[in-house]
Amino acid sequence: MYCVRKVTEDLYWVGANDRRLALFENIHPIPEGTSYNSYVLTDEKTVLIDTADWDVTRQFRENVEHVLNGRTLDYIIINHMEPDHSASLALMREKYPDAVVITTAKAVTMMKQYGLTDENVQVVKEGDSISFGKHEFTFYTAPMVHWPEVMVSYDKTDKVLFSADAFGSFGSLDGRLFSDEVDYQRDWAEPARRYYTNIVGKYGMQVQKLLQKAYTLDIEYICPLHGLVFRAAKDIAYMVEKYDKWSKYEPEEKGVLICYASMYGNTEEAAYLLASRLCEKGMTNVEVRDVSNTHVSYLISSAFKLSNLALLSVTYNNNLFPIMAEFVDDMARLGLKNRKVAVVENGTWAPQAGSILVKDLEAMGMEILGEKTTMMSSLNADTAEAVEKLADEIAASMR
C-alpha cells in the first residue's frame, strides 16, 4: 500500500523509512532509524528525483506507482549515486525502460561500476537546465558533498532545491515530512548535526562552495535525501547558518565536552571533578562522556558543537587508551580544528597518554590550554588542585 506526501502542487515525497537498520553505512548507530527520501514531479513529463535503498524497495515502488497514477516515467534525476539512494535505480529502469536518467558524467562512471547500463542517460554539467513542462530544473555540481559525482537540482518554478545529502538528518520521519511539523531545534538539531559531522564533516570546503551557489538561488523548499523537508523560511535560515558554522569548523556554542577514558574509575573521578569546578565557575554548558560507552559518532557531533574539549585518558600499553585514540583519530580524519583543549593523563608507572594527546591535537590545529595535568593512579590533593587550575584556564578561555 502506498504512503506518500504532497510537497507542492506537482511534487510528492515517495520515500520510505527504515527502522530496522541498526547502523547507517554499517558504522553509525541510528536508534531512531532513517528515511530515504525520493520525490516525483508530475508535470507534462514525469520525473523521479533519486531512488531509495534496497531495504525499502517495496514501499518505494508502490509510492512511485501511486503518484504516477498510470502514467509512465519519463525522467529519473540521479543527484547522488551512493547505494542508499541509487540501489533501486535498476528496478525503476526495468519497470520504466524509456525513462531517461539525468545525472553527472562522474555518476555515469559509478553506474557502470555498480553494474548498471549507461544507455539512455543524459549527462548534465554545471548550470545546465531542462524543462519538464511548467517546471524548469537547473543542475549544480556539488562534488564531495558527499561523494565526487554529487549534484543538486533546483526547480526554478517552485523554488525547490533538491539538495542530495546536504541538509539531511538521521531519524525516521514517522508521518511528518516538514520541519515545521516538529520542534526541530529540540528534537532534530542533534541528529542533523550527528549526520552532518560524521557523514559530510570532512568536506567543509566543498560544503562552503555549495553554500555559495545556494546563496544565489531563491529557495522556498529544501528537499534532502534524508530527514525532513524545509519550507519555513526560519528553518531554512537556521539550517544554512548551521551548515556555514559546521563547514567552517566553528563552534556553535561556548561549552565544554569532557571525554574520559577510565579503566577503574580514577580518571573518571577527575572528569567529574573538572565538570563540577566548571559549573561552580558558571560554565554549566558541560557534557561529560565516557568514551568506552558512547559511540564515537556522538562524541564527534558534540565536538563540532562546543568551543572547548577536555580529554582525560589513562595510559594503555604505553600508549593512548585505544578508544580515546579512535575518537582523536576520527576528529583528525574529519578535519576538526579550532577547539581549545585541556588534557589530563593518568598512569600507574609511566603515564604517556597526555604527551600523545598534546602532539596529536596540536597537529590538528587545536589550542592546548594550561599545563598537561598528570595523575599517578588516582587523584590526590595536588592533582585535585591541578584540575581546579585547569577549570580556571578553561573558564578564562571562554570569556
Interaction site with ligand FEO (CB under 6 A) = 80, 82, 84-85, 146-147, 165, 225-226
Neighbour count for residue 94 (Cβ, 10 Å)? 8
Smallest distance from the beta carbon of 129 to ligand FEO, in angstroms?
25
C-beta closer to ligand FEO: residue 29 or 133: 29
Which of 164, 158, 167 lies closest to 221 in space, CA to CA?
Answer: 158
Smallest distance from the beta carbon of 34 to ligand FEO, in angstroms?
8
Which DSSP helix (H) or strand (E) runs through 170? none
Longest dimension (CA), the chain: 78
Using Cβ positions, the residue closest to ligand FEO within the complex turns out to be 82
Smallest distance from the beta carbon of 165 to ligand FEO, in angstroms?
4
Smallest distance from the beta carbon of 270 to ligand FEO, in angstroms?
39
Smallest distance from the beta carbon of 292 to ligand FEO, in angstroms?
29
Cα distance from N-terminal residue to C-terminal residue, the chain: 57
C-alpha cell at 117: 547500463
Neighbour count for residue 113 (Cβ, 10 Å)? 9
Q: What is the dihedral of CA 365, 369, 370, 372, to 10 degrees?
A: -60
Smallest distance from the beta carbon of 5 to ligand FEO, in angstroms?
19
| Residue 156: Cβ-neighbour burial (10 angstroms; 0-12, 13-18, 19+) | middle
C-beta closer to ligand FEO: residue 46 or 86: 86
C-beta closer to ligand FEO: residue 36 or 321: 36
C-beta closer to ligand FEO: residue 61 or 85: 85
C-alpha cell at 137: 530544473
CB distance 64 to 41 below 8 Å: no
C-beta closer to ligand FEO: residue 84 or 330: 84
Smallest distance from the beta carbon of 27 to ligand FEO, in angstroms?
13
C-beta closer to ligand FEO: residue 85 or 135: 85
CB distance 227 to 171 below 8 Å: yes
CB distance 162 to 39 below 8 Å: yes
CB distance 259 to 312 below 8 Å: yes
C-beta closer to ligand FEO: residue 161 or 387: 161
Neighbour count for residue 348 (Cβ, 10 Å)? 13
Smallest distance from the beta carbon of 115 to ligand FEO, in angstroms?
19
Give how far Cα 173 sits from Cα of 33, 58, 168, 234, Å: 9, 17, 12, 20
C-beta closer to ligand FEO: residue 2 or 147: 147
